[in-house]
């Protein structure tokens, strides 16, 4: 028997030998993506750009569905998403945002937070990669650009959530970040923007279009200083004026005189009416030729796009009967009649942003029919409580319900992609002018001090210049100029009108000027503190 | 050969000393010889006649002469028998005994004839032998039949305690010679209950075998070998083909529905292109895979679609860790062993199985007719668009459906010699579903070969199976379209095109959507494995196996340019082809030894498995002038400049899957020991060490141990007296098994293509982290304890088992949300958290009645399971609550319906609580503070925990009744205590939108003015009881040389369902992380349920 045991022992030894020899066999190698084992350690300059500029690409998700844009816009008076026959009920989130009764569980809050801090996290990681990289031509500017983007994401987060964590690391060596007071976040953003000013590209041309430049830095600083009183309790009007003047006097920017040559699939009469000098700033073919653009998020319907600023609002009409778009509208958001009423100068070019009145077929003459056979005529009125008294926010899924509320067509659809081609304007010259005007007025505590700047904009928009100016006029002018560009909430708060009633909204709780930290973030990071009131 | 054998035998015999020639020895010898004789068709000595004429010749020469002229040979000791004496014999065509009687006249020689062997000894010695043995040897013959009286060929009849025996011939007859009167015959046949008959003074013994479910003596598959059912120490259940569900059965899983306690098989709807899903003993994972491991003929991880139902000999389900730990990191969800048929010695069988089945829709949603819509709109004074009103009453569900037809044909051939066995089968299955265009065509071919070599020291086995599947399917969105499209519309426009209703979303002509889209999937699955078993010494075997599995998948889509969704881009074509493959080699050695009452078995082995996935390419194209080339005409498209063939196109309409190559490797070392003391105390231990490439660098290797023990109480002497107790066994097991059901590379920091970025006029590919690294990522660990009792009473007329189990899963694989920054990406796959499943399983089988012509057998199983999440954190990552189960639906975006929370089960509903209606008929709900408000004031903060989608218990009850040739069987199965969210009903309750969309009949009846909100109102009782299967079969009384057996049957499936659930099918897939949603369609986030059908099948089985 003995030799049999030897055989068994031999087998066991053999098996052990095979196993030990196989340990390296379990090392994984992902052939599709890169990782430490197959990503080159020394990269060429282009590769560093391809990593660094991902920090900008995140801006595209600013305006997707149920995004940060929806969070900061649907709670204002310029955009609300009424329910239409149950459609857009979406668990009450749009109603909650409109009514200012949101809680920290609102999905949109979480999406907004994830977008902004996702961008910040990306910047941190990219900066680590760049800092670790050997020197190459342009490295300093590249780092500055990523820091500028990070400052922008921090600005949006600070503006929306107030007290947020400042965390610049890519590991847990200092534990999870704790909440910083809003004033500290303000200070951090300011110091970053000042520090990188000399390193950012100052040139403004096609080569710097869509990138964070010196102008971007100054515009963001201006925005920061304009709202300094809201953020920190201390006004910084002079600093705001300084930054605005630096931009305005640089000669690199100005009002856009371009008229878009974009034409496909737009009924000619409508196009002529629509694509004026103002609307061309936002047209699908906008780009470096738009002199107003200080910072625009470059989009391409095929190669990179995330924003949907038109489709959610467009009426639901047959696929080929309206604008010949390959996609239908979602018949979602519209403006409150009170906001639309601010567009009261018939010659104002900015009136073209609204889809109002009859919808025309591509021939520009035939009026499209609603699904009950009636002519599809959009009316600004929102008949709350008429279609369904038990659900007043529901204007009805009927043909009449579908046509209520004027729709924003500022980012005119390109007729081919539901993901828009239009570059999204983040900072533009007109904003600098109106910010300067406002800062001057506030500094002198007299709204009329803004008159020259306000009229400069009005003239360019073919609106009659004001002779007198109140604070409300100033706010309304900003409303007309920047509708659906993501600034209305910021402006309403700064003008102290956040507690005003509009639509069905009556809530004026003061703490609602900042959003709550999303519940799931509080769970993930117990060092975060919920904002007061929530 | 004859000579050689003679010499060999003679020398052996001669070498024994006188003392050794004891009767006992002779008996043993006779027994051994009996094996050779066993296969003789008649007794040689009785039929052979010899002619011999010798004068004064030495006896030994006479004997040699007889040996030369016949097949007889003599066994004797020359020391005892004087063969030098001269004798004279004259015989003319006489039998051997007549010749020998005359030859030995006057000599002190006695003889005994054992077929061809003739033993010679002195008379005095033979006397002993004759007295004790020889006189008791006799011939026994008889016929073996089943309870219906049909004869059974191939039944083995063995003399108990010996290896002597025969197999019945084609008439079911057998004949055994030289059987001791004290002997007992063991009669056994696969699928039949073995019987023992004491020979006594009988010479004709006819036996009627009864069909059985699980015999105590039956062999069950365990990993790397088999085990006698008696030795089993863990929770294992074997199912034989007799018990399989009959009717239209396209997958292995469907065979088992309702048959095994704790094995929950579900197939929501009757989509011919989809198989059933399996869950064993509850949900035990959050992010890991939940399918059990399938082992087909020893090939672990085999694709079950490669097996045709007809090819299966038995299915064994291993439920607890002690039986699954031998598969280590893949065992946590249970192991299902499938053993395919193999040829049998001396028997060539040709079988033909065929059935035809017809399917009709058994239940559908009740939506309003055109007249009802018109009447309702008139009532509320709303117009119906002229374009929507054709005065029609279109039943859209009917428009898209038809009668389903299934044809199944199987031919199998098996047989073999003592050393070679073969089995080959081909199966054609063609099934047209009840929804137009849904169709599945399958061909399966299988070949098994076993060859014994070198004196049976080496056994080689080869299994090859190939499976070709062609599926044509429909988007599940058509079900929702069919419910919502206004019934007031015609199907077609006057010009013959499909009538659409533009301007409304998610609203297309369902027939148009079916006919303007070709969705075809072709699969080719090949499995081949070879096994060599080398017997080194008795009891020690060394086994080597190598197997490969290759699966090709070609997915093709063509959406025509008439399809309203794709018309703007001029049609859309997509083709994706990729391969998945596995190769496994294993080396293992097993040793078994019996010392007295101690029986010991040892196994050590090594295995190395390599897998790859998604090795392939995909392509898309748009812009087709004509549709006739379909997806074959990819190059006929006019792709617009800038079209990104890999990118999303037109938003959510198409998101093509681009195969991303992956590979993985699993290296394992395993061992098992079994110890059995007197069939009374049985102990088993298993240890497996697995190394999986899928895990983090710090945790590639894991050890999975298990121990189990059984005490066969009925073997104890104090219970020996109780003849009514056949079996009583107490089992206990404890063990650890794992789950590695995650995609490869999950632990790596993956850095890949990210968004495009813009720079200086061009868009370029950006790169960023796609995945947070987790070098600690490891297997999910399930520790399972099982205590079971098996029993058999009254001759196993009543038998069964009861099991209690507790399965604790720790280190749950879960996608944790993590804060960004510091993390690069906001989720990480990590181990953390735990959950348990505990429950009771009862299996009972009984034979309440069995008489000569009639028998009734019944099987019942019951399983209750309780699932609880006990932790969702691991110190680093934590999530106290996770909201899951996004339902989708118009105006219901981003609404979740379930919660994962400590203390709750997976699939726990988390929705607002319904509080009835106010005077205006508006629905009311409870706020979190208890106040009652209308739906518009309800937010997710008001949600409440409202029970779980998981059933409290499941059960199955099978009965089979046989009267002579007629058989009747039926299976009832059901679940109790599940809750289903009927999202379809909610979305059909939009009376406000009746101008645009059809509604349910219930919506009109209730006159609900509200907008839909998912709430407790829509959680329906998912309990159901279903007559799953009823079969009447008849064995045709055909007995001829050509046809061995023939039977016909008719089977009905899903004959009735008792349920309060109002949707199409209360059967839900439990494997989803958010189970229990009766969804609207994949395009809205939750898959829609295909129509459930009722099936009538007729079938014929013939054996040649």
Reading the block at residue B733, the tokens are 């097991």
Reading the block at residue B121, the tokens are 């000894």
| Minimum-distance CB partner of B822 among A4, A171, A416 | A171
Closest to B939 (Cα-Cα) out of A534, A433, A90, A421: A90
Closest to A341 (Cα-Cα) out of A490, A457, A503: A503
Q: Which residues of A touch B382 (CB under 8 A)?
A: 372, 398
Return the residue of A nearest to B922 by Cα: A390
Residues 387-406 of B with CB under 8 A from A: 387-388
What is the predicted pLDDT for the residue at B1083? 79
CA dihedral sign, ordered A378, A380, A382, A386: negative
Are B731 and B230 spatial neighbours (Cβ–Cβ below 8 Å)?
Answer: no
Are B322 and B733 spatial neighbours (Cβ–Cβ below 8 Å)?
Answer: yes
Asked if B936 and A126 come within 8 Å (Cβ–Cβ), the reply is: no
What is the predicted pLDDT for the residue at A149? 97
Return the residue of A nearest to B658 by Cα: A32
Q: Which residues of B touch A2 (CB under 8 A)?
A: none
Closest to B40 (Cα-Cα) out of B146, B133, B117: B117
The reply to whether B932 touches chain A by the CB within 8 Å rule is no
What tens digit of pLDDT does each residue of A282-300 get?
A: 988 899 999 999 999 998 8
Task: Say yes or no to pLDDT of A321 above 50.
Answer: no
3-class SS at A6?
Answer: helix
Asked if B501 and A371 come within 8 Å (Cβ–Cβ), the reply is: yes
Are B727 and B714 spatial neighbours (Cβ–Cβ below 8 Å)?
Answer: yes
Are B313 and B687 spatial neighbours (Cβ–Cβ below 8 Å)?
Answer: no
3-class SS at B119?
Answer: strand
**Residue B881 Cα, gap to closest chain A Cα (Å):** 8
| Integer CA distances (angstroms), A141 to A153, B431, B532, B782, in order | 19, 65, 68, 53
CA distance B12 to B75: 9
Residue A131, judged by CB atoms within 10 A of its CB (0-12, 13-18, 19+), counts as exposed
Q: What is the 3-state secondary structure (H, E, C) of B700-742?
A: CEEEEEEEEEEEEHHHCHHHHCCCCEEEEEEEEEEEEEEECCC
| Minimum-distance CB partner of A373 among B385, B818, B1013 | B385
Q: Which residues of A touch B937 (CB under 8 A)?
A: 92
Residue position matching structure tokens 């084992």: A37
| Minimum-distance CB partner of A169 among B664, B822, B1012 | B822
CA distance B607 to B169: 42
- Rounded to the nearest angstrom, the gap between the alpha carbon of residue A383 and the centroid of all alpha carbons in its chain is 29
Q: How many interchain CB pairs under 8 A, A with B?
A: 336
What is the predicted pLDDT for the residue at B11? 38
Residue B280 CB neighbours (<10 A): 27
Return the residue of A nearest to B750 by Cα: A35
Asked if A302 and B642 come within 8 Å (Cβ–Cβ), the reply is: yes
Reading the block at residue B528, the tokens are 């081949």
Q: Which residues of A touch B990 (CB under 8 A)?
A: 85-86, 397
Residue to test with chain A: of B766, B888, B897, B990, most A Cβ within 10 A: B766
Give the CA angle between residues B275, B281, B285 to the nearest 5°.
80
Q: Could you tell me which residues are beta bridge partners of residue B753?
A: B767
Residues 559-618 of B with CB under 8 A from A: 564, 567-569, 587, 589, 591, 604-606, 608
Asked if B752 and A32 come within 8 Å (Cβ–Cβ), the reply is: yes
Reading the block at residue B498, the tokens are 């499909």
Give the CA angle between residues B794, B796, B798 to the nearest 5°.
80
The reply to whether A3 touches chain B by the CB within 8 Å rule is no
- Rounded to the nearest angstrom, the gap between the alpha carbon of residue B380 and the centroid of all alpha carbons in its chain is 56
Q: Which residues of A touch B770 (CB under 8 A)?
A: 33
The reply to whether A20 touches chain B by the CB within 8 Å rule is no
| Integer CA distances (angstroms), B644 to A303, B441, B619, B659, in order | 7, 34, 10, 16
The reply to whether A344 touches chain B by the CB within 8 Å rule is no
The reply to whether B700 touches chain A by the CB within 8 Å rule is yes
Q: Which residues of B touch A103 (CB under 8 A)?
A: 939, 941
CA dihedral sign, ordered A162, A166, A167, A172: negative
The reply to whether B822 touches chain A by the CB within 8 Å rule is yes
CA distance B487 to B389: 9
What is the predicted pLDDT for the residue at B63? 84
Closest to B938 (Cα-Cα) out of B965, B964, B911, B917: B911
What is the predicted pLDDT for the residue at B329? 84
Backbone torsions φ then ψ of B828, nearest 5 degrees: -140, 140
Return the residue of B nearest to A35 by Cα: B750
| Integer CA distances (angstroms), A138 to A44, A56, A122, A134, in order | 12, 17, 20, 12
Reading the block at residue B139, the tokens are 């011939």
3-class SS at A69?
Answer: helix
ipTM: 0.86
Q: Which residues of B touch A28 (CB under 8 A)?
A: 664, 693-694, 744-745, 747-748
DSSP state of B151: B
What is the predicted pLDDT for the residue at B106? 79
Q: Give the global pTM.
A: 0.82
3-class SS at B850?
Answer: strand
Residue position matching structure tokens 């996770």: B882
Q: Which residues of B touch A389 (CB under 8 A)?
A: 920
**Residue B1004 Cα, gap to closest chain A Cα (Å):** 16
Of the pLDDT bands very low, low, confident and very high (cuts 50, 70, 90), residue A263 is: low
Strand stretches in B623-724, DSSP E:
662-677, 681-692, 701-712
**Residue A383 Cα, gap to closest chain B Cα (Å):** 15
DSSP state of B698: G
Residue B984, CB-side half-sphere exposure with 13 Å CA sphere: 34
Are A212 and A200 spatial neighbours (Cβ–Cβ below 8 Å)?
Answer: yes
Asked if B992 and A396 come within 8 Å (Cβ–Cβ), the reply is: yes
> Block means of pLDDT (10 residues each) for chain B, length 1104 residues?
36 36 40 38 67 84 84 78 82 82 81 77 69 61 76 77 73 80 79 77 81 58 80 83 81 84 87 87 84 90 86 89 84 89 83 94 92 92 86 94 94 90 94 95 94 91 94 92 93 92 76 94 94 90 94 93 83 89 93 90 92 87 89 84 48 52 91 90 92 90 92 85 84 91 87 84 86 90 93 87 94 89 89 93 91 88 94 82 87 88 93 90 90 86 92 94 91 94 91 88 85 91 94 85 87 93 88 86 84 93 90
**Residue B669 Cα, gap to closest chain A Cα (Å):** 7
Alpha-carbon Rg of chain B, whole angstroms?
35
The reply to whether B667 touches chain A by the CB within 8 Å rule is yes
Reading the block at residue B120, the tokens are 């010679």
Residue A106, judged by CB atoms within 10 A of its CB (0-12, 13-18, 19+), counts as buried
3-class SS at A439?
Answer: helix
Q: Which of A208-212, A387-391, B40-44, B463-467 has the lowest mean pLDDT?
A: B40-44
- DSSP codes joined into one string, B436-503: TT-EEEEEEEEEEEEEEETTTTEEEEEEEEEEEEEEEE--THHHHHHHHS-TTS-SB-TTSSBP--TT
Asked if A93 and B647 come within 8 Å (Cβ–Cβ), the reply is: no
Reading the block at residue B155, the tokens are 């039944």
Number of residues that this document lists for chain B: 1104
Read off the pLDDT of each residue in A465-489 and give the average, rounded to a whole number: 96
What is the predicted pLDDT for the residue at A474? 97
Residues 142-181 of A with CB under 8 A from B: 167-172, 176-177
| Minimum-distance CB partner of A390 among B568, B920, B941 | B920
Asked if B819 and A177 come within 8 Å (Cβ–Cβ), the reply is: yes
CA distance A355 to A362: 15
Closest to B808 (Cα-Cα) out of B832, B778, B830, B834: B834
Residues 228-267 of B with CB under 8 A from A: none
What tens digit of pLDDT does each residue of A422-459 get?
A: 899 999 999 999 999 999 999 999 999 999 999 999 99
Residues 190-219 of A with CB under 8 A from B: 206-207, 209-211
**Residue B1010 Cα, gap to closest chain A Cα (Å):** 7
3-class SS at B824?
Answer: coil
The reply to whether B751 touches chain A by the CB within 8 Å rule is yes
| Minimum-distance CB partner of B503 among A12, A87, A318 | A318
| Minimum-distance CB partner of B763 among A30, A49, A303 | A303
* Preceding omega of B821 cis (within 30 degrees of 0): yes
Closest to A433 (Cα-Cα) out of A252, A186, A247: A247
Return the residue of A nearest to B992 by Cα: A85
DSSP state of A31: S
Are B834 and B809 spatial neighbours (Cβ–Cβ below 8 Å)?
Answer: yes
Of the pLDDT bands very low, low, confident and very high (cuts 50, 70, 90), residue A18 is: low
Q: Could you tell me which residues are beta bridge partners of residue B675?
A: B600, B683
Task: Say yes or no to pLDDT of A478 above 70.
Answer: yes
Asked if B386 and A417 come within 8 Å (Cβ–Cβ), the reply is: no
Of the pLDDT bands very low, low, confident and very high (cuts 50, 70, 90), residue A43 is: low
Residue B42, judged by CB atoms within 10 A of its CB (0-12, 13-18, 19+), counts as exposed
Buried b (16+ CB within 10 A) or exposed e, B823-845: bbbbebbbbbbbbbbbbbbbbbb
Asked if B893 and A90 come within 8 Å (Cβ–Cβ), the reply is: yes
CA distance B584 to B586: 7
């Amino acid at each position: 028997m003995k030799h049999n045991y030897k055989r068994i022992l031999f087998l066991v030894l053999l098996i052990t030998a095979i196993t030990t020899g196989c340990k390296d066999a379990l090392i994984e190698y992902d052939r599709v993506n890169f990782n430490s084992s197959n990503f080159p350690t020394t990269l060429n300059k282009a590769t560093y750009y391809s990593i660094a500029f991902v920090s900008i690409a995140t801006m595209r998700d600013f305006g997707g569905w149920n995004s940060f844009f929806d969070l900061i816009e649907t709670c204002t008076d310029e955009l609300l998403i009424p329910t239409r026959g149950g459609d857009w009920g979406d668990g009450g989130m749009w109603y909650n945002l409109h009514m200012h009764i949101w809680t920290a569980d609102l999905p949109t809050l979480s999406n907004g937070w994830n977008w902004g801090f996702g961008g910040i996290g990306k910047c941190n990681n990219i900066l680590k990669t760049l800092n670790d990289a050997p020197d190459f031509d342009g490295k300093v500017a590249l780092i500055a650009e990523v820091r500028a983007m990070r400052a922008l994401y921090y600005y949006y987060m600070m503006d929306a959530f107030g007290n947020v964590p400042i965390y610049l690391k890519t590991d847990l060596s200092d534990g999870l970040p704790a909440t910083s007071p809003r004033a500290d976040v303000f200070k951090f953003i300011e110091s970053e923007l000042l520090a990188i000013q000399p390193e950012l590209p100052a040139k403004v041309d096609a080569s710097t279009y869509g990138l964070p430049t010196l102008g971007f830095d100054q515009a963001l600083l201006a925005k920061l200083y304009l709202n300094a009183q809201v953020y920190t309790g201390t006004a910084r009007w002079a600093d705001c004026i300084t930054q605005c003047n630096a931009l305005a006097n640089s000669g690199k920017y100005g009002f856009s005189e371009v008229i878009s040559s974009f034409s496909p699939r737009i009924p000619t009469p409508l196009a002529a009416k629509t694509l004026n000098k103002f609307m061309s700033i936002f047209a699908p073919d906008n780009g470096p030729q738009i002199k107003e653009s200080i910072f625009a998020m470059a989009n391409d319907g095929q190669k990179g796009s995330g924003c949907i600023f038109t489709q959610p609002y467009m009426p639901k009409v047959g696929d080929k009967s309206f604008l010949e778009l390959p996609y239908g509208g979602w018949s979602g958001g519209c403006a409150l009649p009170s906001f639309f009423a601010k567009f009261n100068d018939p010659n104002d070019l900015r009136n073209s942003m609204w889809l109002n009145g009859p919808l025309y077929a591509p021939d520009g003459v035939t009026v499209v029919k609603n699904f009950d056979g009636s002519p599809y005529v959009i009316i600004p009125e929102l008949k709350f409580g008429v279609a369904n008294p038990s659900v007043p926010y529901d204007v009805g899924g009927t043909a009449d319900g579908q046509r209520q509320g004027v729709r924003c067509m500022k980012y005119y659809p390109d007729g081919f992609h539901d993901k828009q081609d239009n570059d999204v304007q983040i900072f533009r010259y007109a904003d600098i002018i109106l910010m300067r005007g406002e800062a001057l007025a506030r500094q002198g505590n007299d709204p009329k001090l803004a008159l020259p700047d306000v009229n400069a904009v009005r003239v360019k928009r073919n609106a009659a210049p004001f002779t007198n100016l109140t604070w409300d006029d100033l706010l309304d002018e900003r409303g007309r100029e920047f509708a659906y560009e993501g600034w209305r909430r910021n402006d309403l708060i700064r003008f102290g009108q956040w507690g005003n009633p509009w639509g069905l909204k009556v809530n004026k709780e003061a703490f609602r000027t900042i959003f709550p930290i999303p519940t799931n973030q509080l769970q993930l990071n117990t060092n975060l503190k919920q904002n007061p009131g929530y | 050969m004859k000579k050689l054998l003679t010499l060999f035998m003679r020398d052996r015999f001669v070498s024994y000393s006188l003392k050794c020639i004891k009767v006992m020895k002779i008996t043993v010898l006779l027994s051994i010889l009996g094996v050779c004789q066993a296969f003789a068709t008649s007794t040689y000595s009785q039929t052979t006649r010899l002619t011999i004429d010798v004068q004064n010749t030495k006896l030994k020469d006479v004997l040699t002469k007889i040996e030369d002229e016949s097949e007889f040979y003599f066994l004797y000791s020359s020391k005892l028998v004087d063969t030098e004496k001269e004798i004279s014999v004259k015989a003319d065509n006489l039998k051997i005994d007549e010749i020998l009687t005359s030859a030995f006249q006057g000599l002190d020689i006695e003889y005994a004839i054992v077929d061809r062997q003739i033993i010679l000894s002195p008379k005095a010695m033979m006397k002993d032998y004759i007295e004790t043995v020889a006189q008791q040897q006799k011939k026994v013959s008889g016929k073996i039949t089943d309870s219906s009286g049909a004869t059974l060929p191939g039944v083995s009849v063995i003399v108990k305690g010996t290896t002597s025996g025969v197999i019945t011939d084609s008439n079911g007859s057998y004949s055994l010679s030289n059987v001791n009167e004290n002997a007992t015959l063991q009669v056994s046949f696969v699928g039949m209950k073995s019987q023992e008959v004491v020979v006594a003074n009988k010479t004709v013994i006819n036996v009627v075998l009864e069909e059985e479910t699980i015999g105590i003596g039956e062999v069950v598959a365990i990993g790397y070998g088999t085990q006698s059912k008696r030795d089993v120490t863990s929770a294992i259940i074997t199912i034989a083909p007799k018990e399989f569900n009959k009717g239209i059965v396209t997958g292995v899983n469907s065979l088992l529905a309702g048959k095994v306690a704790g094995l929950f098989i579900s197939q929501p709807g009757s989509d011919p292109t989809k198989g059933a899903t399996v869950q064993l003993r509850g949900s035990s994972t959050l992010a890991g895979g939940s399918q059990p491991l399938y082992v087909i003929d020893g090939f672990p991880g085999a694709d079950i679609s490669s097996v045709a139902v007809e090819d299966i000999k038995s299915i064994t389900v291993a439920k607890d860790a002690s039986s699954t730990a031998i598969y280590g990191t893949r065992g946590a969800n249970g192991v299902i062993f499938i053993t395919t048929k193999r040829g049998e010695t001396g028997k060539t069988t040709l079988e033909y199985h065929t059935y035809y089945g017809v399917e009709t829709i058994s239940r559908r949603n009740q939506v309003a007719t055109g007249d009802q819509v018109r009447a309702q709109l008139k009532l509320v004074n709303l117009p119906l668009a002229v374009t929507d009103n054709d005065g029609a009453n279109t039943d859209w569900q009917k428009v898209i459906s038809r009668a389903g037809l299934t044809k199944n044909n199987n031919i199998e051939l098996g047989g073999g010699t003592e050393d070679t066995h073969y089995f080959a089968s081909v199966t054609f299955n063609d099934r047209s579903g009840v929804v137009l265009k849904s169709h599945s065509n399958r061909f399966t071919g299988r070949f098994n070969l076993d060859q014994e070599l070198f004196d049976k020291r080496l056994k080689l086995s080869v299994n090859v199976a190939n499976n070709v599947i062609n599926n044509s399917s429909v988007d599940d969105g058509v079900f929702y379209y069919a419910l919502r499209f206004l019934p007031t519309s015609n199907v077609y426009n006057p010009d013959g095109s499909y009538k659409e209703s533009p301007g409304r979303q998610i609203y297309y002509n369902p027939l148009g959507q079916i006919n303007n889209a070709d969705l075809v999937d072709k699969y080719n699955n090949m499995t081949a494995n070879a096994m060599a078993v080398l017997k080194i010494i008795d009891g020690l075997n060394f086994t080597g196996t190598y197997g490969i599995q290759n699966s090709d998948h070609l997915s093709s889509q063509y959406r025509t340019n008439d399809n309203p969704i794709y018309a703007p881009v001029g049609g859309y074509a997509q083709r994706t082809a990729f391969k998945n493959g596995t190769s496994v080699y294993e080396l293992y050695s097993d040793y078994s030894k019996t010392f007295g009452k101690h029986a010991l078995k040892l196994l050590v082995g090594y295995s190395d498995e390599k897998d790859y996935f998604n090795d392939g390419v995909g392509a898309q194209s748009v812009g087709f002038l004509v549709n006739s080339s379909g997806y074959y005409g990819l190059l006929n498209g006019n792709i617009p400049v800038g079209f990104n063939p890999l990118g999303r196109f037109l938003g959510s309409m198409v998101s093509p899957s681009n195969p991303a190559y992956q590979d993985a490797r699993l290296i394992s070392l395993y061992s098992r020991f079994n110890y059995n003391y007197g069939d009374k105390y049985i102990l088993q231990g298993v240890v497996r060490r697995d190394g999986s490439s899928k895990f983090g660098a710090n945790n590639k290797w894991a050890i999975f141990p298990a121990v189990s023990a059984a005490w066969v109480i009925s073997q104890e002497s104090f219970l020996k007296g109780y003849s009514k107790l056949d079996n009583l066994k107490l089992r206990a097991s404890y063990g650890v098994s794992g789950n590695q059901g995650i995609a490869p590379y999950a632990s790596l920091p993956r850095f890949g293509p990210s968004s495009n970025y813009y720079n200086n006029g061009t868009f370029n590919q950006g790169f960023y982290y796609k995945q947070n690294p987790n070098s600690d990522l490891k297997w999910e660990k399930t520790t399972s304890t099982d205590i079971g009792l098996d029993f058999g009473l009254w001759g196993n007329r009543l038998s069964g088992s009861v099991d209690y189990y507790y399965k604790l899963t720790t280190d749950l694989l879960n996608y944790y949300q993590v804060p960004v920054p510091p993390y690069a990406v906001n989720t990480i796959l990590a181990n953390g958290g735990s959950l348990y499943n505990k429950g009771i399983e009862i299996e009972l089988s009984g034979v309440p009645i069995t008489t000569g012509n009639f028998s009734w057998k019944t099987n019942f199983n019951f399983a209750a399971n309780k699932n609880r999440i006990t932790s969702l954190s691991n110190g680093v990552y934590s999530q106290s609550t996770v909201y899951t189960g996004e339902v989708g639906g118009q105006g219901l975006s981003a609404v979740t319906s379930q919660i994962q929370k400590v203390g709750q089960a997976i699939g726990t509903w988390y929705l607002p609580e319904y509080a009835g209606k106010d005077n205006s008929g508006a629905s009311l709900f409870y706020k979190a503070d208890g106040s009652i408000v209308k739906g518009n004031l309800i937010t997710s903060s008001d949600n409440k925990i409202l029970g779980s989608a998981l059933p409290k218990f499941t059960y199955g009850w099978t009965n089979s009744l046989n009267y002579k040739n007629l058989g009747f069987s039926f299976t009832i199965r059901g679940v109790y205590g599940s809750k289903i969210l009927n999202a379809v009903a909610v979305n059909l309750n939009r009376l406000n939108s009746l101008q645009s969309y059809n509604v349910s009949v219930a919506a009109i009846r209730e006159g609900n003015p509200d907008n839909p909100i998912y709430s407790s109102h829509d959680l329906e009782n998912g309990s159901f009881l279903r007559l799953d299967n009823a079969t009447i079969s008849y064995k045709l009384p055909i007995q001829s040389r050509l046809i061995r057996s023939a039977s016909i049957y008719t089977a009905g499936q899903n004959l009735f369902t008792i349920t309060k659930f109002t949707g199409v099918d209360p059967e839900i897939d439990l494997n989803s992380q958010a189970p229990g949603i009766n969804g609207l369609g994949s395009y809205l986030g939750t898959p829609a349920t295909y129509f459930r059908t009722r099936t009538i099948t007729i079938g014929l089985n013939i054996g040649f």
